[in-house]
Amino acid sequence: MVATVARVILDSLDLIPNQDGRTLVSFVTFDKSIHYYNFKDTDDHPQVIIASDVEDLFLPTPEDLLVPLVSFRPQIEKLLMKLPLMYSNTQVPLCGLGSALKATRAIIGSHGGKIIVFQTTPTNIGPGMRSSGSGLLSPSSSFSDEPSSTANVISNIKGVLQLSTENKFFKEFAVECTRDQICVDLFLFPSQPIDLSSLSSMIKVTGGTLHYYPGFSGNSSEDVAKFSSDMSCFLSTSFCLEAVLRVRASRGISISNYKGNFFTRQTDLLALPNFNPKHSFSVEFSIEESLSSPVAFIQAALLHTTSGGERRIRVITMALPISSNPSEIVSLADASVIANVLAKNAIALANRSDDDPRDYLFSKVVDILQAVKNLERSTSSISLPRALKPIVFLIHGAIRSLFWSKQGTFFDTTQTPTLEGDIRASMFCMVETMSVMETTKLFSPRIYALHYHDESHGGFWPVPLSGERFERNGVYLLDDGTSILYLWVGDLVSNDLQQALDGVGISMRSGKVGWLTLITL
């Protein structure tokens, strides 16, 4: 992992936003000790300083640990080229992530910025040390495909998310980071449980990003290509720094809930050390008193600093008409937005209580259908407005994607069965910052019949999401909007089709092929 990370960072240095040369960088590596890298103008190579006591940290020559990227570019490049050789034979089983985080915060605390973590093993020494057995998910504690008793459901939820309140260090550290305008981003490469439920609190509080690669292998060209693409894109992104987001509404309307990665400073003020332009936020409002005006206003204002050091504010104001006619309101409801918000609420429910998130989603669908039926008292059937018709299908897709058995995950858990708890936690982190378009594609993915190509219509056409449409001599590609595609291969596929797909780089063998999961009938 170290060699791959060092090479990708080296290749991406020119992509880091640094128009005015203000970007500062620092490097810290860790196992049972903390390794600092001291840069000096007079030295061609940085000096390595090792702090063996992870409980009592100190900063040696702190002014030389955080240096300008432009001025020290040659030394930084030499360090990145040397790191793989320095640790190629290291086999220390201890990992002091908590101490490394505290050391890094001390280095950049007066400046703010980002702490980017690359980790393969769980924290097992110093602050944040994982207790024995935490993070493990037994095979019996995943969500079942079949209805179960209330006691079993509660046991299942606890099994999947048993770490949500166990390790407090990382959340407390994240809160401290928000005071220094520091964001934490995670790139994880585990082959064993890594306590992601606890680690993820850092990205949720500081506005960070999670990239999760279970079973990563530096010898796999597909794994390396995936990480290289993600890392290059990440380093080239211009983030908003030192941001605060304030949301307001007309009198009589109050904010009842927020969803996303942020720290709540006040009921209407969110703090974001980094604002990722690819992240989405949801805000729920409630009507507290009668609205006499024909129009209600909602306003969101984002105050932030650009990567170039400019302080800016962006304001979005919406004017929404007020209606006393429930039928008119229902006719304008957006099923995709409702599914997005309800799915995020279900994730929050699963993280904080023993209630079954599936029951929550089912009950919300029943409430919607009942409300529509009450508006149509003259008929016993339910006729949903056109914009609301997909709601049942989307909620069912959310349940299948997030709260079902391990076969409903983004990742192939057959090769890493012990990671199922962390994998589910990573799914939750991804959905919590997804836009409406992204969750709609996840809950209602597209399937393309690769064995049927129509040149007159520009290529492959999507087919309905129904098993009845699958042919045993066909090949189907499922795209749910994530970085993984799924290929369904019938057992009667012709040799000509196999050769044609092999010619475009799609292997017909079963198992994981890069980020393409193959499922053979």
* CATH assignment at residue 468: 3.40.20.10
Digit-coded pLDDT (tens) for 3-43: 999 999 999 999 999 888 889 999 999 998 999 999 988 88
Strands (E) in 441-491, as ranges, are: 446-449, 462-463, 475-479, 485-489
Same domain, 419 and 459: no
Domain count, the chain: 4
Residue 145 lies in a domain: no
Q: How confident is the model at residue 473 (pLDDT cuts 50, 70, 90)?
A: confident
Same domain, 202 and 349: no
Same domain, 310 and 330: no
Cβ atoms of residues 280 and 338 within 8 Å: no
- At 338, give phi and psi (nearest 5°): -60, -45
Residue 12 lies in a domain: yes
**Which are the contacts of 114, defined by CB distance < 8 A and separation ≥ 6?**
182, 183, 184, 185, 208, 239, 274
Q: How far apart are CA 481 and CA 483, in angstroms?
A: 7
- Two tokens, residue 87: 């640790």
37: CATH:
3.40.50.410
Same domain, 114 and 206: yes
Same domain, 112 and 11: yes
195 C-beta neighbours (distance < 10 Å), count: 26
276-298 mean pLDDT: 92
477-492 mean pLDDT: 79
Same domain, 217 and 345: no
435: CATH:
1.20.120.730
Last residue of a domain, one of 188, 217, 236: 236
Same domain, 109 and 10: yes
Same domain, 343 and 488: no
Q: How do beta strands 210-212 and 182-188 pair?
A: parallel
Cβ atoms of residues 6 and 80 within 8 Å: yes
- Look at residue 16 and give its three-state secondary structure: coil
Instruction: Note the Cα 493 to chain centre separation in Å.
Output: 36
Question: Shortest CA distance to 243 belongs to which of 299, 312, 303, 308?
Answer: 303
Cβ atoms of residues 389 and 335 within 8 Å: yes
Q: Bridge partners of 352? A: none
437-459 mean pLDDT: 81
Last residue of a domain, one of 274, 292, 322: 322
The string over 328-343, giving b where at least 16 C-beta atoms fall within 10 Å of a residue's C-beta and e elsewhere, is eebeeeebbebbbbbb
List own/partner pairs for 369-376 with CB under 8 A and 24 or more apart: 371/326, 371/330, 372/330, 375/326, 375/327, 375/330
27 C-beta neighbours (distance < 10 Å), count: 21
State the residue range of the domain holding 370: 323-444
Q: Is residue 491 pLDDT above 70, yes or no? A: yes
260: CATH:
2.60.40.1670
Question: Shortest CA distance to 13 belongs to which of 28, 1, 27, 32?
Answer: 27
422-448 mean pLDDT: 92
335-351 mean pLDDT: 94
Measured N-to-C along each axis, helices 357-375 and 335-352 cross at an angle, to the nearest 10 degrees, of: 140
Average pLDDT, the chain: 83
Q: List the single range of 39-43, 212-216, 260-264 with lowest mean pLDDT.
A: 39-43
The 3-state secondary structure of 87-102, one letter per residue: CCCCCCCCCCHHHHHH
Cα three-residue angle 345-350-355, rounded to 5 degrees: 100
Q: How far apart are CA 272 and CA 489, in angstroms?
A: 45
Positive/negative CA dihedral, 288, 293, 298, 301: negative
Residue 415 or 426, more confident = 426
Residue 115 lies in a domain: yes
pLDDT at residue 466, as a whole number = 79
Residue 330 lies in a domain: yes
Same domain, 13 and 58: yes
Q: Is residue 424 pLDDT above 80, yes or no? A: yes
Q: How confident is the model at residue 178 (pLDDT cuts 50, 70, 90)?
A: very high
Residue 142 lies in a domain: no
Residue 150 lies in a domain: no
Same domain, 342 and 379: yes
Same domain, 404 and 498: no
The string over 84-123, giving b where at least 16 C-beta atoms fall within 10 Å of a residue's C-beta and e elsewhere, is beebeeeeeeebbbbbbbbbbbebbeeebbbbbbbbbbbb
Same domain, 209 and 310: no
Its pTM stands at 0.85
Digit-coded pLDDT (tens) for 60-95: 777 889 999 999 999 999 999 999 988 877 777 888
Digit-coded pLDDT (tens) for 99-156: 999 999 999 999 999 999 999 999 988 888 876 544 444 333 444 444 444 444 444 4
- Two tokens, residue 467: 């098993």
pLDDT at residue 154, as a whole number = 42
Measured N-to-C along each axis, helices 73-86 and 2-12 cross at an angle, to the nearest 10 degrees, of: 160
Residue 477 lies in a domain: yes
Q: How far apart are CA 415 and CA 423, in angstroms?
A: 12
Residue 56 or 431, more confident = 431
Residue 153 lies in a domain: no
Q: List the single range of 231-235, 368-372, 410-414 with lowest mean pLDDT.
A: 410-414
Last residue of a domain, one of 414, 444, 474: 444
Q: How confident is the model at residue 455 (pLDDT cuts 50, 70, 90)?
A: low
**Which are the contacts of 456, defined by CB distance < 8 A and separation ≥ 6?**
none
Q: How far apart are CA 354 and CA 341, in angstroms?
A: 20
pLDDT at residue 447, as a whole number = 87
